C-alpha cells in the first residue's frame, strides 16, 4: 500500500507540472492559480475513483481527460472564459469550442513546460520567491515540502508564492519563449535558478534526505529539458548539467546517517556514483564548444578533477588554474579560499601561506581553518591560535566540535 501511495505521489508530482503548464498556456499565465486548483481537483477525483476501480492502464491520459472537462467547466461557469479568454484567443464562439481544447500532446506539454521555465525564471521576480515558485510550478513539490526545505512554515511559503504569482500577473509575463536574440541572455537567469534549486537540495539544512535528493534530481531534469531544444542546448547548459552530475555523484558519500556532511577529504570513494561521474564527463565534453566560458564551465572542470581521488600535482595545478580563472569572472571569499587551498596542494604550505595572509577574510571561520591547516607543520602555536579563532567564529556546534578535534590533534 505504501509503495502504491508513493507511486501515485510520484505520478501526481510529474503530471502536476505538465498539466499546470498546458492549462496556463491555453488560458494565460494570469490564471495560473486556477490551473493549480483544477489539477489538484483532478488528483482528488483520481484518488477517489482509482481507490475503487483500480488505476487505469494509462493514468496520465485519464488525468488529462478529467482535467479537460474540469477546465472547460470552470471557465464557462466563471464567465472568465467568454469575457476574457475568448477575446484573447481571438476566436469566435463557434471556433473556440473546437480550438480551445487543452492539448496534451507530447510536443505541447514539452513546449509549455519550457515556456513556463522561462516565465518563472524571469529576472522580474526576486530570487527567493522564484525558487519557491520553481519548486511548486516547475517541479511539482507540495507547499509542505517547500516549507520543510526552507525550514519555514506553509503560511510563509504560501504568502511568498502568492506574491510571486501576483508579480507574474502585474508584469504581464506571457508563456512564450523570449525572442531569439534574447534567449542566450535570458537563459543565464534560467540556469541560475536551476543551479539554485540544485544547491537548495545539495546544501539544504533539512534532515529529510529523500526530499533533498528530489530537489537535486528535479534540477537535473530541468537542465536536461533545456538540452532538448537547439536554442537552449548551449555549451553553458551542458556545463551546468556536468557540474550538477559531478556534485550529485557525491551525494551518498557526503551523508553518513545523521552526522554532519562528510568533508571531501574524508569521503568514502566507493560511495561515489560512478554512473553520474560518467554522465558528468559526457556533458563536460559537450560543453567544450564555442567562445563563452562561464563559471559553470570552470566549476564543472574543478568538480571533474575532484572526481579523481588520486592526489597528483597535475590535478591540483589544474584546479589552481581553474580557480584563478573563476576568480576573474566570479569573485567570492569561498572561491578565494579554495584557490589558496589548491595553491597549497600544488605548491606547498609556504607558498600558500604568503597568499593566505593577504586574503584577510577576518570574519570567515573557513579562513582561520585554512590558516590553521597551513601552519600545522610549520608553527604549532600559530596553528592553534588560528584554529581557536575559527572555533570562535564557527556557527554550529558540529563545526566547533570538528575544530576542537583538530586542536587536540596538534598535541
Partner 1 sequence: MNKNQANEFVFLFRQPALNLSPEGQGELQKKWMDWVGSIAAQGKLASNGIHLAAEGSVLKAGGVVTDGPFVEIREILGGFIVVKADTMDDAITLAHGCPGIDVGGSVEIRTAFA
Cite the beta strand spans of 90-181 per DSSP E. Answer: none
Of 324, 349, 364, 404, the one binding partner 1 (CB under 8 A) is 324
Q: How far is the CB of 319 from partner 1 (least distance, A)?
A: 12
- Distance in angstroms (rounded) separating the CA atoms of residues 225 and 138: 11
Contact (CB, 8 A) for 21 and 109: yes
Kindly write down the DSSP assignment for every residue of 28-57, as one continuous string.
Answer: -GGGHHHHHHHHHHHHHHHHHHHHHH---S
Q: How far is the CB of 320 from partner 1 (least distance, A)?
A: 7
Helical axes 295-306 vs 274-287, angle rounded to 10°: 140
Q: Which residue has 469550442 as its cell numbers?
A: 97
Residue number with CB closer to partner 1 (52 or 360): 360
Of 17, 115, 237, 340, the one binding partner 1 (CB under 8 A) is 340
If one asks whether residue 331 binds partner 1 (CB under 8 A), the answer comes out as yes
The region of 139-147, 201-209, 227-235, 355-363 touching partner 1 under the rule CB under 8 A is 355-363
- Distance in angstroms (rounded) separating the CA atoms of residues 134 and 165: 11
If one asks whether residue 320 binds partner 1 (CB under 8 A), the answer comes out as yes
If one asks whether residue 321 binds partner 1 (CB under 8 A), the answer comes out as yes
Residue number with CB closer to partner 1 (162 or 331): 331
Residue number with CB closer to partner 1 (124 or 329): 329
Q: Which three cell numbers stand for residue 71?
A: 477546465
Site for partner 1 in 128-157 (CB under 8 A): none
Residue number with CB closer to partner 1 (91 or 359): 359
If one asks whether residue 328 binds partner 1 (CB under 8 A), the answer comes out as yes
Residue number with CB closer to partner 1 (224 or 361): 361
* Element (DSSP H or E) covering residue 377: none
Query: What region, left, alpha or beta, does residue 204 occupy, with left being phi > 0 and alpha being psi -120 to 50 degrees?
Result: beta
Classified as helix, coil or strand, 245 is: helix
Return the number of other C-beta atoms located less than 10 Å from residue 280's C-beta.
24
- Distance in angstroms (rounded) separating the CA atoms of residues 411 and 178: 62
If one asks whether residue 363 binds partner 1 (CB under 8 A), the answer comes out as no
Q: How far is the CB of 146 from partner 1 (least distance, A)?
A: 34
- Distance in angstroms (rounded) separating the CA atoms of residues 355 and 346: 13
The region of 119-127, 188-196, 300-308, 327-335 touching partner 1 under the rule CB under 8 A is 327-335
If one asks whether residue 349 binds partner 1 (CB under 8 A), the answer comes out as no
Residue number with CB closer to partner 1 (328 or 410): 328
| CA distances, 368 to each of 261, 351, 373, 405 (Å) | 20, 17, 8, 15
**How many residues belong to the site for partner 1 (CB under 8 A)?**
18
If one asks whether residue 350 binds partner 1 (CB under 8 A), the answer comes out as no
Residue number with CB closer to partner 1 (276 or 320): 320
- Distance in angstroms (rounded) separating the CA atoms of residues 11 and 114: 19
Q: How far is the CB of 321 from partner 1 (least distance, A)?
A: 6
If one asks whether residue 327 binds partner 1 (CB under 8 A), the answer comes out as yes
Return the number of other C-beta atoms located less than 10 Å from residue 25's C-beta.
23
Of 166, 209, 355, 399, the one binding partner 1 (CB under 8 A) is 355
Site for partner 1 in 210-239 (CB under 8 A): none
- Distance in angstroms (rounded) separating the CA atoms of residues 387 and 401: 11
Contact (CB, 8 A) for 46 and 69: no
Q: How far is the CB of 360 from partner 1 (least distance, A)?
A: 8
Q: Calculate ∠ Cα 343-344-345, nearest 5°.
A: 90
Q: In the stretch 273-312, what mask flags binding to partner 1 with x, by CB under 8 A?
A: ----------------------------------------
Cite the beta strand spans of 188-343 per DSSP E. Answer: none
If one asks whether residue 341 binds partner 1 (CB under 8 A), the answer comes out as no
Question: Under the rule (CB under 8 A), what is the footprint of partner 1?
Answer: 320-321, 323-325, 327-328, 331, 333, 335-336, 339-340, 343, 355, 358-360
Amino acid at each position: 500500500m505504501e509503495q502504491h501511495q508513493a507511486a501515485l505521489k510520484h505520478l501526481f508530482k510529474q503530471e502536476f507540472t505538465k498539466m499546470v503548464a498546458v492549462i496556463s498556456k491555453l488560458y494565460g499565465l494570469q490564471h495560473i492559480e486556477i490551473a493549480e486548483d483544477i489539477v489538484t481537483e483532478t488528483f482528488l477525483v483520481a484518488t477517489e475513483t482509482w481507490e475503487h476501480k483500480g488505476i487505469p492502464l494509462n493514468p496520465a491520459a485519464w488525468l488529462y481527460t478529467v482535467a479537460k472537462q474540469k477546465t472547460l467547466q470552470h471557465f464557462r461557469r466563471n464567465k472568465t472564459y467568454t469575457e476574457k479568454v475568448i477575446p484573447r484567443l481571438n476566436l469566435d464562439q463557434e471556433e473556440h469550442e473546437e480550438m480551445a481544447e487543452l492539448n496534451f500532446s507530447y510536443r505541447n506539454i514539452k513546449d509549455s513546460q519550457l515556456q513556463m521555465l522561462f516565465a518563472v525564471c524571469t529576472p522580474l521576480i526576486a530570487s527567493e520567491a522564484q525558487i519557491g515558485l520553481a519548486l511548486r510550478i516547475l517541479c511539482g513539490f507540495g507547499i509542505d515540502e517547500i516549507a520543510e526545505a526552507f525550514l519555514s512554515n506553509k503560511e510563509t511559503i504560501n504568502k511568498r508564492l502568492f506574491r510571486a504569482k501576483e508579480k507574474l500577473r502585474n508584469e504581464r509575463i506571457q508563456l512564450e519563449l523570449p525572442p531569439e536574440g534574447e534567449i542566450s541572455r535570458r537563459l543565464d537567469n534560467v540556469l541560475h535558478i536551476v543551479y539554485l534549486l540544485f544547491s537548495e537540495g545539495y546544501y539544504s539544512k533539512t534532515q529529510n534526505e529523500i526530499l533533498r535528493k528530489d530537489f537535486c534530481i528535479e534540477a537535473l531534469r530541468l537542465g536536461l529539458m533545456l538540452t532538448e531544444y537547439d536554442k537552449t542546448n548551449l555549451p553553458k547548459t551542458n556545463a551546468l548539467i556536468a557540474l550538477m552530475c559531478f556534485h550529485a555523484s557525491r551525494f551518498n558519500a557526503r551523508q553518513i546517517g545523521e552526522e554532519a556532511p562528510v568533508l571531501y577529504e574524508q569521503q568514502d570513494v566507493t560511495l561515489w556514483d560512478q554512473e553520474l561521474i560518467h554522465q558528468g564527463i559526457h556533458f563536460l565534453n559537450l560543453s567544450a564548444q564555442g567562445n563563452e566560458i562561464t563559471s559553470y564551465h570552470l566549476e564543472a572542470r574543478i568538480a571533474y578533477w575532484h572526481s579523481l581521488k588520486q592526489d597528483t600535482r597535475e590535478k591540483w595545478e589544474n584546479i589552481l588554474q581553474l580557480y584563478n580563472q573563476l576568480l576573474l569572472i566570479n569573485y567570492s571569499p569561498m572561491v578565494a579560499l579554495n584557490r589558496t587551498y589548491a595553491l597549497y596542494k600544488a605548491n606547498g604550505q609556504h607558498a600558500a601561506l604568503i597568499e593566505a595572509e593577504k586574503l584577510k577574510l577576518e570574519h570567515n571561520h573557513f579562513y582561520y581553518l585554512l590558516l590553521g591547516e597551513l601552519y600545522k607543520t610549520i608553527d604549532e602555536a600559530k596553528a592553534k591560535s588560528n584554529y581557536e579563532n575559527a572555533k570562535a567564529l564557527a556557527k554550529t556546534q558540529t563545526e566547533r566540535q570538528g575544530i576542537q578535534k583538530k586542536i587536540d590533534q596538534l598535541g
